[in-house]
Amino acid sequence: MADLGEGLDKVEEEVENLKNTKITLFGISMTPTTIGAAFALVGSLLGGLYGAFEVYKDYMEMKAKLADLDVEAIAARNDLIETKLDEAIEYTRDIKSGLRDDILAIEKQADRVEDMVRDNENEVRDIIRQAEKSFDEKRDRLQSDYDTAASRLRDNSDRKITELEERLNAKLQRALDNPLAD
């Protein structure tokens, strides 16, 4: 491990010596850090110039495309679209108005049908009441006729039984009064 530590120390010393080393380039004395900064500056400038060139090239292509555009055709197309849109809006309003009228007519018909159903229902109820009343009266008349007929039958039966008893009693009395007579 001692060799590794000594090797690292040597590398550190050489880096320190490199920092302090002065290099003369194009008659200018510079350190390695200054040279790195100069390369970074030159690279940034070249990259910026290249980017500006690409932007300029794209600008020129876009300008050429815009020159080819027919502004009048686009305006005519927009006018046509506006006209169709206005027609569609008017048509939609007509449909809305027609639907509203149809809905109101249907509501009136529904109200009329409800009234008719209500009237028919009341008529049917009246007919049922009248039929019940008629049936009650008929039942009462039939009951009265039955009671009258039953009463008449009873009276007739009672009278006939009474007459029969009277005749039998009379015959019995005659037979008792005169046993040899008949």
Query: What's the rounded Cα separation, in Å, for the pair 44 and 25?
Result: 20
Counting the structural domains of the chain, the total is 1
Whether residue 179 lies inside any domain: the answer is no
Evaluate whether residue 173 is within a structural domain.
no
Residue 44 included in any domain: yes
Whole-prediction pTM value? Answer: 0.37
Does residue 172 belong to any structural domain of this protein?
no
Cα distance between residue 7 and residue 22, in whole Å: 25
pLDDT (average), residues 154-175? 84
Nearest to 19 by CA among 33, 5, 6, 8: 33
Confidence label for 101 from pLDDT (cuts 50, 70 and 90)? very high
Indicate if the pLDDT at residue 94 is higher than 70: yes
Confidence category of residue 13, pLDDT binned at 50, 70, 90:
confident
Per-residue pLDDT tens over the stretch 68-86: 677 787 888 899 999 999 9
Residue range 104-125, pLDDT digits in tens: 999 999 999 999 999 999 999 9
Task: Report the percentage of the chain scoring pLDDT > 90.
Answer: 35
Question: Which structural domain, as residue segments, surrounds residue 32?
Answer: 1-69
Helix (H) or strand (E) holding 150: helix 71-177
In a domain, 112, yes or no: no
What confidence tens digit (pLDDT) does each residue in 133-147 have? 999 998 899 889 888
Residue appearing with tokens 């006209």: 83
Tokens of 57: 């090239």
Tokens 């009278």 correspond to 159
In angstroms, rounded to a whole number, what is the distance separating the alpha carbons of residues 26 and 6? 37
- Whole-angstrom CA distances from 67 to 70, 71, 105, 130, 132 are 8, 9, 59, 95, 97
pLDDT at 126: 93
